[in-house]
Amino acid sequence: MEAYIIDWLNLLVRWLHVIAGVAWIGASFYFVWLDNHLVAPKDPADDDKGVGGEVWSVHGGGFYHAQKYKVAPQQLPDHLHWFKWEAYTTWLSGIFLTALVYWYGAEVYLIDRSVAELSVPAAVGIAVLFIVGGWLVYDLLCKSPLARDERAFAAVLLLLSSALAWGLCELFSGRGAYIHFGAVLGTIMVANVFFVIIPGQKKMVAAAERGDVPDPAPGIQAKQRSVHNTYFTLPVLFVMTSNHFAMAYGHAYNWLILIGVSLAGALIRVYFVNLHKGSASAWPIGVAAFILSAIAFAIAPQPKEPSDTGASFDQVRNIIDARCTSCHSSTPTHPAFPVAPLGIMFDNDTQIVTDADRIYQQTVATRVMPIGNLTAMTDEERQVIDAWYQGLKKTR
């Protein structure tokens, strides 16, 4: 019953996380688009009122006229909408999911003893330190003179992100490392909102309410963090979906793949931001395409000659029974899985042969199964599965 309740919590909070994330990212992307499409107001009266730019748009059967003030309007409206709860809800639901799946279930999803011998408290403690420390380091960088040079800042951030990815992959399972890389970036994003963007906006509103001219510095800082957030978005979205792709997180160079895809995502975002500005060079999208193509080529499975000494099916059947059916069965015995993950079951010979490609990919090619190697599948057993699979290909 405990595992069943955990599954329902996982489902409901994951659903909330996706809904809130769509709302946050959608609003963020819209305002980046809006800022980059503003033109000088045509009505001189608007300029006198302090309007710095405007844009007309049509959507959903209606016309919209959005204006942005250089600093603040002369008189604040009765109702002012704040965009913050989308970000907070996304982070709170995301960190709850991380705690539920990767910390509560650390022995299954976070710890891989073939990577590092960690206890549950040590693994969870290290994960929390990475998340908190990531924000502290990033915030110090933003407050340093380095932040005034965008290219130097980006280079240092890429270097530190690479070190982060490598460190996580040296400590945790591939899935755990990837999701915590995303958790660090996601925490930086929401901390930017909570500690910089919203407080800066509150200062501007308070000054406007007093009738003072707002200090533009908090707005400039908030704009800087908002721009950073938009470049973090696509890497975080990749991480959110990465646990479906063992070819990435299960690879020997999983940390390098993670950085490569993240860099490609940031470059794709650079292209679209520049496109909004009307000065879109094709080089960012070209470099991103090259990086993704290079990764796909580099990690492509190498064809093998069918083996003449394939292992017997009985050998494989015994390995599957000993190492896999505690989870992949109509009646799983592992307490973390009330039902077979993804509905994949190996209760009979037909199911094993039908899923031979998947078994080979997960246990031999990427070695991500058994998950966390909970059932201690040996290298020799993986070699038996490999030999059987190669022999099976020869007969097809």
248-264 mean pLDDT: 96
103-110 mean pLDDT: 93
Rg (the chain; Cα; Å): 26
Q: What is the pTM of this model?
A: 0.88
Which is more confident, 200 or 134?
A: 134
Query: Cβ distance 288 to 253 under 8 Å?
Result: no
Q: How many CB atoms lie within 10 A of CB 315?
A: 15
249-273 mean pLDDT: 95
**Confidence check: pLDDT of 274 > 90:** no
**Confidence check: pLDDT of 105 > 60:** yes
pLDDT value of residue 193: 96
Average pLDDT of the chain, as a whole number:
91
Percent of the chain with pLDDT over 70: 98
**Confidence check: pLDDT of 48 > 60:** yes
pLDDT value of residue 305: 64
pLDDT value of residue 168: 98
Bridge partner list, 66? 55
323-342 mean pLDDT: 88
Percent of the chain with pLDDT over 90: 69
| Rounded Cα–Cα distance for residues 99 and 97 (Å) | 5
Residue with tokens 């001219």: 213
pLDDT value of residue 310: 67
